[in-house]
């Protein structure tokens, strides 16, 4: 189904991708309601989060837009809980969705952009592909970004790999100024599975002249950043810089 600009597609063309069958298969069987997670002992300094009530069959019915979350954290915030919609108009929201299943240190997500090369020069307005080699993820899991954004917890496949997808985001740079995250020059969610471990995105209209940063954003099926088992690790994402001439 076509999606609106600036969601999971790039800015220049109509996205004709259909949602993959992953919608119905991105929940590992062992993540269904289990009678609740044990209390997590609380976050130091915040008084602790009480144990949560478990997930009653999250994401099992994509047609209904998923589950709005079962934790109670947001009740303390007086903020509207996330409801599967992206918040585009400046509204601050709160998510009760649990982080989900966290992989082993042996299955952490890692990737590298192999094309273009870092520092490459590319002709303006000329199509090019971004290729990403990725490990630690079963790609192709892509919840509906219009109705299920952040609704589902992270899940693993039977081999312990995060079930997720990546995105490519390209921003124009202006020296050392911080790029504005609200205006990527190109963005696309990668809902298709990797081929031989490589994800490919066509920047099919190229880019105007300028210097750019090209980054991955590796995510769980629900579009949240991947959740990893240790803090001290290599980045789950890669960025390169290119010059468009
Ligand atoms: Cu996404």
Distance between Cα 199 and ligand 1 center (Å): 14
Rounded to the nearest angstrom, the distance between the alpha carbon of 78 and the centre of ligand 1 is 27
Q: What is the mean pLDDT of the chain?
A: 80
Segment 94-136, tens digit of pLDDT:
999 999 999 999 999 999 999 999 999 999 999 999 999 999 9
3 state SS of 240 = strand
This prediction has a pTM of: 0.74
CA of 145 to the centre of ligand 1 (A): 7
Distance from C-alpha of 69 to C-alpha of 76, rounded to nearest angstrom:
14
Instruction: List residues bridging with 226 in a β-sheet.
Output: none
- Give 8's pLDDT tier (boundaries 50, 70, 90): low
pLDDT for 162: 98
Q: Are 242 and 211 in contact (CB under 8 A)?
A: yes
Q: Tell me the mean pLDDT in the region 199-211.
A: 97
Number of Cβ within a 10 Å radius of residue 63: 8
CA 85/CA 149 separation, integer angstroms: 6
Identify the residue with better confidence: 244 or 44.
Answer: 244
Return left, alpha or beta for 118; rule: phi > 0 is left, psi -120 to 50 is alpha, else beta.
beta
d(C-alpha 219, C-alpha 167), whole Å: 8
Give the model confidence (pLDDT) of 14-67 as tens digits: 332 333 333 333 333 333 333 333 434 333 333 334 434 334 433 333 333 345
Measure CA 193 to chain center. 14
Choose the weakest-confidence range: 5-14, 132-141, 170-179: 5-14
Cα 143 to ligand 1 centre (Å): 8
Q: How far apart are CA 192 and CA 132, in angstroms?
A: 13
């Amino acid at each position: 189904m076509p999606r609106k600009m600036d969601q999971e597609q790039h800015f220049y063309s109509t996205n004709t991708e259909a949602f993959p069958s992953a919608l119905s298969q991105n929940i590992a069987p062992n993540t269904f309601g289990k009678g609740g997670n044990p209390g997590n002992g609380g976050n130091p300094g915040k008084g602790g989060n009480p144990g949560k009530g478990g997930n009653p069959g999250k994401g099992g019915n994509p047609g209904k837009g998923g589950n709005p979350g079962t934790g109670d954290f947001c009740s303390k915030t007086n903020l509207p809980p996330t409801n599967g919609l992206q918040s585009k108009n400046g509204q601050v929201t709160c998510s009760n969705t649990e982080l989900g299943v966290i992989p082993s240190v042996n299955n952490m997500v890692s990737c590298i952009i192999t094309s273009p090369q870092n520092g490459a020069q590319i002709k303006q307005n000329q199509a090019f592909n971004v290729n990403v080699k990725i490990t630690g993820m079963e790609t192709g899991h892509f919840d509906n970004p219009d109705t299920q954004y952040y609704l589902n917890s992270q899940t693993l496949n039977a081999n312990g790999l995060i079930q997720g997808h990546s995105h490519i985001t390209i921003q124009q740079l202006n020296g050392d100024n911080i790029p504005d995250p609200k205006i990527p020059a190109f963005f696309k969610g990668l809902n298709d599975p990797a081929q031989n471990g490589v994800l490919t995105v066509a920047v099919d209209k190229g880019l105007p002249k300028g210097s750019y940063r090209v980054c991955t954003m590796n995510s769980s099926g629900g579009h949240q950043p991947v959740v990893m088992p240790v803090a001290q690790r290599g980045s789950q994402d890669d960025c390169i810089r290119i010059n468009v001439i």
